[in-house]
Amino acid sequence: MADEPSRAEQRAEFERRAIDARHHGHFQQAATLFREAADLALELQDRLNLQLREACCFLAMERHDEAVALAKTIHPAFVIPGVGVHWKMLEDLSGPYPGFGLGALDALDGL
């Protein structure tokens, strides 16, 4: 009997499959897989990153309300109302990481 994959291995596999699905334009499948990977993430930053990628899949499907709701739920500190979303946060999520702006999440600008 083969050993079952660890939680980290399962998370990585869901993320790999999500990236592949997104690459092929299967945004609903990618969103679901990013959510499953996020549910298995052990670290907060990893989980938030995967959830934000899920939100970007919602945007690709023009499900803007769901994308905005998810982005705002992920962490209010990421969102600057009417401006956009911080790209990188401090480890404790208390504020933006120095030297990084809004550029990497252009798809969510203007929340």
Residue 85 and residue 51 in contact, taking contact as beta carbons nearer than 8 Å? no
**Can you list the alpha helix ranges (DSSP code H) found in 1-111?**
7-23, 27-40, 44-60, 64-74
The mean pLDDT of the chain is 83
Say which range, 6-10, 21-25, 53-57, 65-69, has the weakest mean pLDDT.
65-69
> What is residue 89's three-state secondary structure?
strand
Report the predicted TM-score, pTM, of the whole model to 2 decimal places.
0.71
Q: Which two tokens stand for residue 1?
A: 């009997």
Q: How far apart are CA 7 and CA 9, in angstroms?
A: 5
Q: How far is CA 45 from CA 4, 35, 41, 92, in A?
A: 25, 14, 9, 9
Highest average pLDDT, of 10-19, 49-58, 76-85, comes from: 10-19
pLDDT digits (tens, 9 = 90+) for 10-50: 999 999 999 999 999 999 999 999 999 999 999 887 888 89
